[in-house]
Amino acid sequence: MRLDAACAMATGKGRKECRDAVRKGFVTVDGAVVKKADTPVTRDNTVCLAGETLDLREHLYFMLHKPAGTVCTTEDTEESVLRLFPEKYRKRLFCVGRLDKDTTGLLLLTDDGDFDHRLMSPKHHAPKEYAVTLARPLSDTDCLTLEGGITLENGEKTQPCQVTKTGDASCRIVLREGKYHQVKRMLAAVSNRVTALHRCSVGGLPLDPLLAAGQYRELTPEEIALLSET
């Protein structure tokens, strides 16, 4: 890979900006300043831009314990989940699917479009498990109604899903699709209201219990393989 391309890939900056940085002497390869933008580099080289070592891996995969009050957006706003990550990753990463601002739990982030597509496309839709807290008790009939698939307020129909009561006014729902505000709208359709929503797992991968809200970690190669096969 060319040095300017490696810098662009690792930082999310434009190729031209990176080429200029190389020409101006801001980039080192294995400790030495290199000013030729087309110098070939591999992942075995240590490339630094303005003193910061670049991550030359082709793709990045993270799980985040999303805290309430954060937004799934790539816009650089105060509330963006990306603000929980170091700046060097912010231009690369995007969210795999979306969670509402008040929803907590497992959020995957990557820069791998194929990975995102496999997990989110309607064809492959990976199971997503939510712990739901409700304003009112949920009856067994409500569970069966939701499980069979229902018609939402705008006429959209939901696919069959699994609903397990976990308390008088709480349940676990496993969905294999991802309509806008789906869990909240499904519960509204049986005259209830979601008061707290937490995503426990995606594609069989549970949220790491060691991650407190706001913390993240990289996925292991085994976890990436598991999700890629979903």
Stretch near ligand URA under the rule CB under 6 A, chosen from 60-68, 83-91, 133-141, 178-186:
178-186
Q: Which is nearer to ligand URA, 188 or 226 (CB)?
A: 188
Stretch near ligand URA under the rule CB under 6 A, chosen from 15-23, 87-95, 177-185, 210-218:
177-185
Question: Is residue 55 within 8 Å of 98, Cβ to Cβ?
Answer: no
Residue span 68-107 as binding mask against ligand URA, x where in contact by CB under 6 A, dash where not: -------------------------------xx--x----
The token pair that represents 118 in the structure block: 């496999």
Q: Which of 181, 189, 200, 224 binds ligand URA (CB under 6 A)?
A: 181
Question: Is residue 140 within 8 Å of 120, Cβ to Cβ?
Answer: no
Q: Which of 197, 207, 219, 227 binds ligand URA (CB under 6 A)?
A: 197
CB of 134 to ligand URA, least distance (A): 12
Closest to 106 in 3D by CA, of 121, 114, 115, 95: 95
Considering the rule CB under 6 A, would residue 184 count as an interface residue with ligand URA?
yes
Q: Which of 70, 104, 182, 192 binds ligand URA (CB under 6 A)?
A: 182
Q: Which is nearer to ligand URA, 29 or 107 (CB)?
A: 107
CB of 197 to ligand URA, least distance (A): 6
Stretch near ligand URA under the rule CB under 6 A, chosen from 38-46, 62-70, 109-117, 180-188:
180-188
Q: Which is nearer to ligand URA, 93 or 197 (CB)?
A: 197
Catalytic residue among 100, 112, 114, 116: 100
Alpha carbons 90 and 105: distance in angstroms, whole number:
20
Instruction: Specify whether 168 is catalytic.
Output: no
Considering the rule CB under 6 A, would residue 116 count as an interface residue with ligand URA?
no
Binding site for ligand URA (CB under 6 A): 99-100, 103, 181-184, 197
Q: Which residues are catalytic?
A: 100
